[in-house]
Amino acid sequence: MDAFVLIGSFFGLMLIGVPIAYALGLAALIGALWIDIPLDAVMIQIAAGVNKFSLLAIPFFVLAGAIMAEGGMARRLVAFAGVLVGFIRGGLSLVNILASTFFGAISGSAVADTASVGTVLIPEMVKKGYPRPFAAAVTVSGSVQAILIPPSHNAVLYSLAAGGSVSIAALFMAGVLPGLLMGLTLAVLCLYKAHKHGYPKGEVIPLRQALKICAEALWGLMTMVIILGGILSGVFTANESASIAVVWAFFVTMFIYRDYKWRDLPKLVHRTVKTVTIVMILIGFAAAFGYIMTLMQIPMKVTALLTDLSDNKYVILAMINILLLVLGTLMDMSPLILILTPILLPVVKLLGVDPVHFGMIMMVNLGIGLITPPVGAVLFVGSAVAKLRIGEVTKAMMPFFGALFVVLLMVTYLPWLSLWLPRTMGL
Distance, in Å, from the CA atom of 357 to the CA atom of 237, rounded to the nearest integer, reads 21
Specify the pLDDT at position 406: 94
Specify the pLDDT at position 138: 92
Sign for the CA dihedral angle at 121, 100, 57, 335 comes to positive
End-to-end, the C-alpha distance of the chain in Å comes to 41
Distance, in Å, from the CA atom of 236 to the CA atom of 320, rounded to the nearest integer, reads 35
| Beta bridge partners of residue 276, listed in sequence order | none
Specify the pLDDT at position 294: 79
Specify the pLDDT at position 221: 78
pLDDT, tens digit only, all 427 positions of the chain: 777 788 888 888 888 888 878 888 888 888 888 888 888 888 888 888 778 776 777 788 778 777 777 777 777 877 787 777 777 777 888 888 888 888 777 777 787 778 778 887 888 888 888 899 999 999 999 989 988 888 787 888 898 888 878 888 889 889 999 999 999 999 999 989 888 888 777 777 787 888 888 888 888 778 777 777 777 777 777 777 778 888 888 888 888 877 778 888 888 888 888 878 887 888 888 888 888 887 887 777 777 777 777 778 888 999 999 988 888 887 778 888 888 888 889 888 888 899 999 999 999 999 998 888 877 778 888 888 888 888 888 899 999 999 999 999 999 999 999 999 998 887 7
Specify the pLDDT at position 317: 92
Specify the pLDDT at position 205: 79
Q: At what angle do helices 110-127 and 377-386 cross, to 10 degrees?
A: 30
Q: Where are the alpha helices (DSSP H) in 296-389?
A: 298-309, 313-328, 333-350, 355-370, 377-386
Specify the pLDDT at position 50: 79
CB 55 within 8 A of CB 283: yes
CA 135, distance to chain mean position in Å, is 21
